[in-house]
């Protein structure tokens, strides 16, 4: 295995690790907020579940990016390509948008979602508004995923 291939694999690993950490944090705090509200109003669980799950998507985007890198370099087929240093760094760079934006946006989305859950706790009719507010943060995670995917498919192997 070449140094270029190893660098590409580090990029793939970071995409899952960092975006996953962000999502784990985001879902953790929304889960705590939901638990608090449901301790008093268990009937709101259904309405809050969607808001609670929103920060989890960045982890999925990171995972998806990692799998795409593995596919592109032929790792899943059992015979990874012998990448040059430039190709390795290109894959690493392609993973960065979703990695960096993933961790940060998941944390911020978690905080926004917590506020939305608290808003819905007081007035359950505002839960759809809460989903919209938290989903706005998602925009930037989606854009970063898109850029990562476009970059990945633009790298000649």
**Which of residues 41 and 149 has its CB atom nearest to another protein in the complex?**
41
Give min distance, CB of 7 to another protein, in A.
Answer: 38
For residue 106, the minimal CB distance to another protein (Å) is 15
With tokens 């919209």, the residue in question is 132
Q: Shortest gap between Cβ of 91 and another protein (angstroms)?
A: 37
The nearest distance, CB 41 to another protein, in angstroms, is 5
Indicate the residue among 41 and 67 with the shorter CB distance to another protein: 41
For residues 61 and 148, give the distance between their C-alpha atoms in angstroms, rounded to a whole number. 10
d(CA 48, CA 117): 6
Cβ nearer to another protein, comparing 46 with 122: 122
CB 121, CB 41: distance < 8 Å: yes
Q: How many CB atoms lie within 10 A of CB 116?
A: 27
- Identify whether the C-beta of residue 69 lies closer than 8 Å to the C-beta of residue 12: yes
Q: Which is nearer to another protein, 20 or 110 (CB)?
A: 110
The DSSP 8-state label assigned to residue 54 in this structure reads G
**Which residues contribute to the site for another protein (CB under 8 A)?**
29-30, 32-37, 39-41, 44, 111, 114-115, 117-119, 121-122
Handedness of CA 140, 101, 20, 48 (dihedral sign): negative
């Amino acid at each position: 295995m070449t140094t270029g291939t190893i660098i590409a694999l580090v990029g793939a690993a970071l995409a899952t690790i960092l975006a996953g950490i962000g999502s784990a944090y985001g879902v953790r705090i929304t889960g705590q907020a939901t638990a608090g509200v449901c301790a008093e109003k268990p009937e709101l669980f259904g309405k809050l579940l969607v808001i609670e799950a929103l920060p989890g998507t960045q982890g999925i985007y990171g995972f998806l990016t990692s799998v795409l890198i593995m596919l592109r370099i032929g790792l899943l087929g059992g015979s990874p390509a012998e990448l040059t240093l430039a190709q390795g760094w290109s894959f690493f760079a392609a993973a960065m948008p979703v990695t960096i934006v993933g961790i940060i946006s998941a944390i911020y989305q978690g905080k926004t979602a917590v506020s939305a859950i608290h808003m819905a706790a007081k007035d359950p009719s505002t839960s759809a508004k809460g989903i919209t507010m938290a989903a706005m943060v998602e925009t930037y995670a989606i854009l970063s995923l898109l850029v990562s995917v476009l970059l990945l498919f633009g790298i000649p192997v």
